[in-house]
Amino acid sequence: MPLYQVLVLAIIQAFTEFLPVSSSAHLWFAPWAFGWKDPGLTFDVALHAGTLVAVLIYFFRDWLQIIAHGFGVEYGGDPELRHNRGLLWLLAIASIPAGVAGALFEKQADSTWRNPYLIGGMLIVIGVLMWIADRRPAGNKSVGNLAWGDGVSIGLAQALALIPGTSRSGITITVGLFRGLTRETAARFSFLLSTPVIAGAALKKLWDVHKEGGIPPDMKVPFAVGTAVSGILGALVIAFFLRYLRRNSLAPFAYYRIVFGIIVIALAAFLRVGAE
């Protein structure tokens, strides 16, 4: 796999995994647009590993405090996390729906569901819902006062992210806004909630690679570069996006999704892209 392809796909993953625009849609679209071959399972693992690295880099101290508080240990100085000492168990329960959905429908998500009409449709539908949620009166819930109903609702929404074009961050942030969370809180909880699921998916795919003989020699450098680039850049994207949401709307991302979804469907209809 050429190094320039590795860099392009890793950059796409870093931006589109954490911005609410759907990494699956962009990683499906990019190889077609550039005429590249499918990078395969090994590189998919590298991108998942990079995404996990990104959330662990950015939220490392948060996770230490969340885990400590979950077991009754006083640690960390974040006042919101200190106010919600049961957050570890809320995140654990809220992660279950996505784990179950992944176990049941992983094969479909990686094959038959990678249909341009489905991808384009989900881009548009979630974009419209995001626009509606963003235009509602601003919520005031912080991480410190999240209720179990909030966590379970967002966790159920995360399970839908298995459908290509949905966007894990897009659907969970949208539901968070409907539940009265602030934009920044919705994104922060979304990224924290994604951590266990991303870790599970990365380990599952790594095990699949191991069963097929491990990482091929010619993929070791692309694997390392893809993981490092998507991980480091992803952490920077998280930092930018959380700062952006303190004062700005999600409307540009909603509009982008809708336009991109229309383009995907139009290409499928007129050029038979991905519809063979």
Query: Considering only CA atoms, which of 75, 127, 109 is closest in space to residue 197?
Result: 109
Q: How far is CA 22 from the centre of its chain?
A: 7
Which pLDDT does position 190 carry in this prediction?
Answer: 96
* Host domain of residue 33: 3-116+130-250
Q: Label residue 253 by pLDDT band (50, 70, 90).
A: very high
The total number of structural domains that make up the chain:
1
Average confidence score pLDDT of the chain? 92
CB 61 within 8 A of CB 222: no
pTM of the predicted model as reported, rounded to 2 decimal places? 0.92
Residue 137 lies in a domain: yes
Cα–Cα distance list, 129 to 223, 244, 264 (Å):
36, 20, 19
Residue 270 lies in a domain: no
Residue 49 lies in a domain: yes
Residue 276 lies in a domain: no
Q: Label residue 273 by pLDDT band (50, 70, 90).
A: low
Q: Residue 52 is encoded by which pair of tokens?
A: 């996990």
Q: Label residue 201 by pLDDT band (50, 70, 90).
A: confident
Q: Which of 32-46, 119-133, 145-159, 253-267 has the lowest mean pLDDT?
A: 32-46
Rounded Cα–Cα distance for residues 156 and 272 (Å): 33
Per-residue pLDDT at 274 exceeds 90: no
Report phi then psi at 181, rounded to 5: -75, 150
Residue 36 lies in a domain: yes
Residue 268 lies in a domain: no
